[in-house]
Amino acid sequence: MVTNQSDTFQIGDRTIHRLGYGAMRVTGQNIIGRPDDEDAARDLLRHAVDIGVDFIDTADSYGPGVSERLIREAGVTDDALVATKAGLLRNSDGDWLRHGDPDYIRNQALVSRDRLGVDSIDVLQYHAPDQDVPYEDSVAAFAELKDEGLIDHVGISNVDVDQLETARDHVEVVTVQNQYNVGNRDHEAVLEACEEYGIGFMPYFPVGAGNLDAVGEVLDDVAFAHDATRYQVALAWLLEHSDVTLPIPGTSSVDHLEENVAAASIDLTDDEYARLTDS
């Protein structure tokens, strides 16, 4: 793996800090509906930008639509690169339903653009492959949206290496978003492919959705040495593990947001990094 040399990453002509913010948690319970306090959610988004976050991840399906709307209302689209997603439906039970039909993707992109209040979406990601729709057809829809100037860049999510290669045959891919953290490295091969191609790798659940017990003992030991939390160390490990990782921890708490951002300043020793990597 490449060791961490920079805290920034280039997407097109935009330079962003590698530690971003995942805006899934500014919605209601189970990522459905509005948060209890929309003013607090908008304040949280503005505070993220104020303390240096300039990369925000969201999705049409978060709410649905709530997260994107709040990002616009918070007035942060000029100060942060916003990556949203298309290709998932939510039903009344809150299930995540894959829907990669090209016409639906186009419609989602148009709606997301309006919700975000932008002329062109910074990055639009294909949320998850749909087994009922040829992957090439779905990706081609994103390529067409980019050619038409409705989106600036294309990302993909929940993919394997073969799907990444297929996507790259149709359009330039700037980001890949897969589940990955210090305790779950099932997609190491995808990360390595992103390193080879200079693609940003966005690990979702970067702190294991709060469950890192499998590597908890080592995390806690390293955290004690840095007067940090295990979750801060998990984020520091992701930043150290590769120059292309773009962690997007999400929270609805200002305190947790500030803790997450502070993780970027933790310098792991070679021994600490090795112990975490081998754990």
2 confidence band (pLDDT: 50, 70, 90): very low
User: Is 3 buried (19+), middle (13-18) or exposed (0-12) by CB count in 10 A?
Assistant: exposed
105 confidence band (pLDDT: 50, 70, 90): very high
Distance in angstroms (rounded) separating the CA atoms of residues 229 and 208: 14
In a domain, residue 68? The reply is yes
In a domain, residue 42? The reply is yes
Given a cut of 60, is residue 77 above it in pLDDT?
yes
In a domain, residue 12? The reply is yes
In a domain, residue 83? The reply is yes
In a domain, residue 2? The reply is no
Determine the average pLDDT of the residues in 84-103.
94
Distance in angstroms (rounded) separating the CA atoms of residues 106 and 267: 43
For residue 62, indicate whether it is catalytic. yes
Domain limits for position 190: 8-278
* Active-site residue, from 62, 135, 180, 204: 62
Q: Please state the domain count of the chain.
A: 1
User: What values do phi and psi take at 211, rounded to 5?
Assistant: -120, 95
Specify the pLDDT at position 92. 80
Inter-residue contact 22 to 248 (CB < 8 Å): yes
Specify the pLDDT at position 91. 86
Specify the pLDDT at position 98. 97
pLDDT tens per residue across span 106-144: 999 999 999 999 999 999 999 999 999 999 999 999 999
Distance in angstroms (rounded) separating the CA atoms of residues 72 and 118: 9
Specify the pLDDT at position 5. 52
Specify the pLDDT at position 208. 86
Predicted structure pTM score: 0.95
CA 119 to chain CA centroid, Å, is: 22
Determine the average pLDDT of the residues in 191-199.
98
Determine the average pLDDT of the residues in 56-64.
97
Dmax over CA atoms of the chain, in Å, equals: 53
Given a cut of 50, is residue 4 above it in pLDDT?
no
* Domain CATH number, residue 167: 3.20.20.100
Given a cut of 80, is residue 75 above it in pLDDT?
yes
In a domain, residue 3? The reply is no
The closest of 200, 153, 154, 155 to 180, measured between CA atoms, is 200
Task: Kindly give the pairing relationship between strand 88-90 and strand 96-98.
Answer: antiparallel
Specify the pLDDT at position 279. 87
Mean of all residue pLDDT scores within the chain: 95
In a domain, residue 75? The reply is yes
